[in-house]
Amino acid sequence: MILSNFIDHTNLKPMASLSEIQKLCGEAKNYGFYAVCVNGCHVSLAAEELKNTKVKIAAVVGFPLGAMSTEAKIFEARECVKNGADEIDMVINIGWLKSNEDSKVRNEIKSIKRVIGDKILKVILENCYLTTSEKEKACTLAVEAGADFVKTSTGFGSGGATFEDVILMKKIVGDKLGVKASGGIKDKETALKYIDLGVSRIGTSSGIILLN
């Protein structure tokens, strides 16, 4: 098991400069991280920096609140893929989920997956705002909509990944979807525990620390 192969090396700060994104990409190449995860405005730059490398580009969509229109998310996802993104990390509409608008949540995920085609779609649940039953429902809807991953958190909410949430998510999605743990993962021991629990990707801005 090579830890770097699990890591989405992340900088989603609103104040991230172009030089910081270039630095992120350079680190991803040097340390062999699976992907970088960036905001949509930086996808073109990341694509240029990572050209002819194995490092993937993940772009966030509907970030961090998930509360914009489905049409806006679809446009954003399409633009990110056009500019070089290999993966899309989208935030669900939490208000719809809590309002039992299951078909709207499902159809939004399905619509975004349709426009990105064979690119990877990760669905961010933002578990810190959800009850256990809502987490279970969100995972089920992601499976039904044809997503590729469920993801714990944006890292911008009131809480990040927890072992309990990953266990619950893995129980619901089984082998149908991957699970990405993200938010507050800052040391190697914690990362390895998440991998033991079945995650196949870890989102962190502390990737280099995790490897030491």
Which residue shows structure tokens 């961090």? 64
User: In whole angstroms, what separates CA 38 from the centre of its chain?
Assistant: 10
**DSSP run (H or E) holding 89:** strand 87-91
Q: Which residues contact 20 (CB under 8 A, 6 or more apart)?
A: 11, 13
Q: How big is the chain by its Cα radius of gyration, in Å?
A: 16
Cβ proximity of 139 and 102 under 8 Å: no
Tell me the catalytic residues: 89, 151, 180
Strands 87-91 and 56-61: what pairing? Answer: parallel
How far is residue 161 from each of residues 46, 65, 109, 145, measured CA to CA in Å? 26, 17, 21, 23
What whole-number distance in Å separates Cα of residue 137 and Cα of residue 2?
32
